[in-house]
Chains A and B, each alone.
Chain A
Amino acid sequence: MKKTILGFTAALALLATSFAFAQATGKPADFVDPGLFKNLILGFSVALSWTNLWYCFIGCFLGTLIGVLPGIGPVATIAMLLPITFNLPPIPALIMLAGIYYGASYGGSTTAILVNLPGESSSVVTCIDGYKMGQQGRAGPALAIAALGSFFAGTVGTILIALFGPPLAELAFEFGAAEYFSMMVLGLVAAVVLASGSLIKAIAMILVGLLLGLVGTDVNSGIARYSFGISELSDGIGFVSVAMGMFGFAEIVGNLEAKEADRTGATISEVKSLMPTAEDIKMSIGPIIRGTAIGTIFGILPGSHTVIAAFSSYTLEKKLAKDPSRFGKGAIEGVAGPESANNAAAQTCFIPLLTLGIPTGAVMALMVGAMTIQGIAPGPQVMTQKPDLFWGMIASMWIGNGMLVLLNLPLISIWVMFLKIPYRILFPGICLFCSIGAYSLNNSAMEVYLAATFGVFGYFASKWGCEPAPLLLGFVLGPLMEENLRRAMLISRGDPSVFFTRPISCGMLIVAGALLIMIISPQIKKKRDEVLIEGDGL
C-alpha cells in the first residue's frame, strides 16, 4: 500500500515537472495535441497493412509459444527470436518484436494459471489465485479475465503513449549532453532502487555492464578498446550475445539445477468453458481499472517494475475486498488486478524509450539494441523523422493486444499441448535456438563463444546474488553515457560543475542522490526488503 502511494506521488511529481519544463522552455504544454487524430490515423494506416498485420500476428504467436515454455522469461524470448527480425525492414521488425514481447508476457500468465508455474517473474502473483481457480475447474474464466484485463490495460497504455509521447519528446529536444548524462544516471539509479536483491551488487553489475558496453572501437580516437586483437570484438560485444548468455544459457542451467521447471509431476488444469459468469465480470471491473492505474505509473518509472506493479495491485485488492480471506483460494480479483497492472506496465514502459531514448529495464534495453540494428537511434527524433514508424508501432501495440485476446483464447488447447512437453526434452532445443541465433548475428562462431562465456559468467554471478538485468541495462547505456559525458565536458571546457549549474540536469542528479540516500536509510531499507521478500515468497 505504502508502495502504491509512493508510486502515485512519484508519477504526479513526474507529470508536474514535465509540465513545469514545458512552461520554462516557453512551449505551451498542450497535452492533447490537435494533430493527435491525424497521427493516429497515420499509425493505423501503417499498422493495418496486410504485411504488418501478418508480422504482428507472427510476433504474438511466436512470443506466446515461447512464453508458455517453462523457465524462459520475456528477455530470453526476445533475444532468441530477435535474429528472425534482422532481415525485415524496420517497421515490420519492430512491430513483430513488440508482438513477441506481449505474447511472451501473456504466455507467462497462461502457465501461471494452468500449472502454477510463472513463465516470468511478474506472473508470480497470478499463480496464487489463478492456479486455485484452475483447480476449481474455473481455468477458462481466469484466462478470459486475464486476457480481457490485459487488453483493457493495453488500450489505456496505448492511449497514454499517444497522448504523452509528443510533449515528452518536445521536452527531450531541449536536452543537452549534460541533461542526457544526468538523466541516464537517474534512470540507472532508479532502476536498481526498486530491483530485488542487494543494492550495492546491482550498482556494481551496472558498472560492469557500462564497462562491457565500451568494448570495441572508440568513435573519437578510432582505437579498438579491449578487443585483444580479435576482429569481432572491435565492433563491440553484441548485446544479443550478452542477453542470450545471461538470460538463456545461465537460466537453463539454473533451471536444471533447481529441477523446478520440470512439470511432468504437475497437474495441468483442464480448460472447460472460457466464458466468465456475469458475477465474474462484475467483480473484475474494479480491479482491472485500479490495476491499470497502478501498472501505468510503475511502467513509466525507470526499472522493470511489472513485478512490483502486479504485487501492489494484488495487495490493494486484498485490502479493498469485503472478505479478504477469499484471496489465495481462487478470488477472481486476484487475477484481474495483477494481470492488468502487469500489462499496463509492460505497455507504458515504452514511453521513456520512445520519447527520451532511455530504456527502463532489460526488455527495453533489448528493444534499444533491436532499433540500433535497424539503424534507428531511439530518442525524440524518431517521432519527427520517422512518424510512420513511431505511430505505426503505437497503433500496432493496440492491435497486438487485441490479437492476443483473439489468438490465445481459441488456441489455448495448443498451448496446453506445449505445456505437456517435459523440460528435459525442451531445453536442448532452447539451447540450440540460442546458439543458432547468436551465430546468425554476424555469421560468426565468435558470437556463440561470447554467449557461452556470458552464460558461465551469469550463472556464477546470480549464484553469488548478482542479478543480470542491471548489467544489460548498463551495457546498452555505456556508449551513450560516455558520448554525452564527453560532449558535456567539451562544451563546458572540462568543468564538471556543468552538471549542477544547468537546472534540469542538477534536478535529476538531486533526485538520483535522494533516491540512493533514501534506500540506504535503515528504515526504508527494511520496508523495501519486507515488500520484496513478501513478493518473492508468494
Chain B
Amino acid sequence: MIKSKKDLYAGLMFIVIGGFFALWALNYPMGTAVRMGPAYFPSILGWLTAGLGVIIMVRGFTMPDVDPNPTQWKPMLWIHGSAVLFGLLVDPLKIGFVGAVVASVIACAYGGYEFKWKEAIISAAVLTVVCWGAFVYGLGLPFRLFPGS
C-alpha cells in the first residue's frame, strides 16, 4: 500500500507546515490585491505548500522508493539537547559561561559513539579555555563566567 515512506512523511510535513501558515494567517488582515495585508502573501504560499504536500503524499502511494534510514534518536536528541542546555544554563539559569560550556560539551559527546568520560572531560576543559580565549577575551562577548560574577 505505502510505496515510499520518504514521500509520505515529507508530504505530511509540507501539508502540516503549509496548512498551519495558511490557517494562522486568518488572524491577520487579508487586504486586497492592490493593498496587500499581512495575510495575503503567506496565505498564497501556505496553500501552495500544502498543495505540493498533497502531491508528494500521493506519490508516496504510487512511486516506490527505498525506506529512509532508521531515525537515530540518541545522537539526534543529545546533540540538539546540548545546544538547548547551553542556552538554558547561560540565560535563564545564569550558571555562567564555564559551567554551560562544560555541561553542553559532555552532553554533546555523550550523543556520539564510543563515549569515554576521560576524553569528554579533557575536551570540555580544552574547549572552555579555547572558547574563553576566542569569544570572551578575544571578541569581548558579554558572557558572565561563573554564577554571580
Contacts and interface: CB of A to CB of B under 8 A. Distances in A.
Contacts of B135: 436, 440
B90 A489 contact: no
Q: Is the interface of B mostly helix, strand, loop or mixed?
A: helix
What range describes how many residues of A lie at the interface? 35 or more
A221 B38 contact: yes
B26 interface: no
A427 B69 contact: no
A435 B41 contact: no
Nearest to A463: B68
Contacts of B79: 249, 252-253, 256, 427, 431, 455
Contacts, number: 203
Contacts of A446: 87
Contacts of A445: 87-88, 90-92
A436 B98 CA distance: 12
B7 A490 contact: no
A218 B35 CA distance: 13
Contacts of B48: 207
Given A425-B123, A459-B76, A448 B87 contact: yes
A464 interface: yes
A427 B80 CA distance: 12
Given A203-B52, A207-B49, A490-B34, A428 B123 contact: yes
Interface residues of B, number: 73
Interface string A249-290: 100110011010000000000000000000000000000000
Contact of A211 (B17, B80, B114, B115): B17
Contacts of A463: 6, 68-69, 71
A70 B13 CA distance: 30
A204 interface: yes
A425 B7 CA distance: 35
Contacts of A448: 83-84, 86-87
A211 B46 contact: yes
Interface of A: 83-84, 87, 198, 200-201, 203-204, 207-208, 210-211, 214, 218, 220-221, 223, 225-226, 249, 252-253, 256-257, 259, 423-425, 427-429, 431-436, 438-440, 443-446, 448-449, 451-452, 455-456, 459-461, 463-466, 481-482, 485-486, 489-490, 493-494, 496
Top-5 shortest CB links A-B? A445-B87, A445-B91, A448-B87, A494-B34, A494-B33
